[in-house]
A = this chain, B = another copy of it.
Amino acid sequence: MSFVGSGTAPDQPVRGRPRSEAVERAILEGTMKLLEDGVPLAEISIERIARTAGVGKATIYRRWSGKEELFVDVLRTAEPQDPEQLPGTSMRDDLIVLLESLRQRGLANRSSAILHNVHAQMKSSPKIWAAYHNSVILPRRRAGVEVLRRGQQNGELRADLDVELVNDIIVGPMLVRAVLRPEADLPEDLAERIVDTLLAGLRPVN
């Protein structure tokens, strides 16, 4: 369950009593429960998590080295299912699907008011942020850039543009709304509107 890679340990025969999966679940779900109940992040101590889950502190420290590592796992457990099969019919459709999945994440977060805090918290601990970045953010970014490359080859996207920058341009508005502007709403057709607006350009047609 460690969030950092896994790669099938090199054999290591089981010695002693194995760790209980039930306990593992109890900890993750107990933490989730606290978050959902609106307990401020600063008041969620390892001690309290242990009490909530009916578990000894050592049992938590045996699995995670601290609060931050634990939160990363909680966050990943709660993340909506990762990317999906892209339709592949056109660059436009693919981009809309990608943006739509971002919107779903924003909605899920909002509804429970949970992940915002955890996300913010992670940014202040570089190691954890790096782990989260590598395992969650980067893969999506790569998917986006790939779609854009194919678009350039198809002639759907201007060939002279820097795909990295274009990716920021596409993803930016949705992130701003979902992460930085929690007061804004995320209407159903938002992904489509953003993509079409960007494709057409802001300048009047003629």
**Which residues of A134-168 are within 8 A (CB) of B?**
155-159, 161, 164-166, 168
User: Can you report 27 residue pairs joining A to B where beta carbons are below 8 Å apart?
Assistant: A116-B124, A120-B120, A120-B121, A120-B123, A120-B124, A156-B203, A158-B202, A158-B203, A158-B204, A158-B205, A161-B202, A164-B184, A165-B173, A165-B193, A166-B197, A168-B173, A168-B176, A168-B181, A169-B194, A171-B172, A172-B174, A172-B175, A172-B176, A175-B175, A175-B176, A198-B202, A199-B203
Whether a CB of chain B sits under 8 angstroms from the CB of A1 is no
A201 touches B200 (CB 8 A): yes
Q: Which A residues are within 8 Å of any B CB, using their own CB?
A: 40-42, 116-117, 119-125, 155-159, 161, 164-166, 168-169, 171-177, 179-181, 184, 193-194, 197-205
Give the residues in chain B near A169, CB-CB below 8 Å: 169, 172-173, 194, 197-198, 202
Instruction: Give the nearest-CB partner of A152 in chain B.
Output: B204
Instruction: Give the nearest-CB partner of A68 in chain B.
Output: B42
Instruction: Give the nearest-CB partner of A193 in chain B.
Output: B165
Instruction: Give the nearest-CB partner of A168 in chain B.
Output: B173
A122 to chain B, nearest CB (A): 8
Instruction: Give the nearest-CB partner of A41 in chain B.
Output: B124
Give the residues in chain B near A174, CB-CB below 8 Å: 172
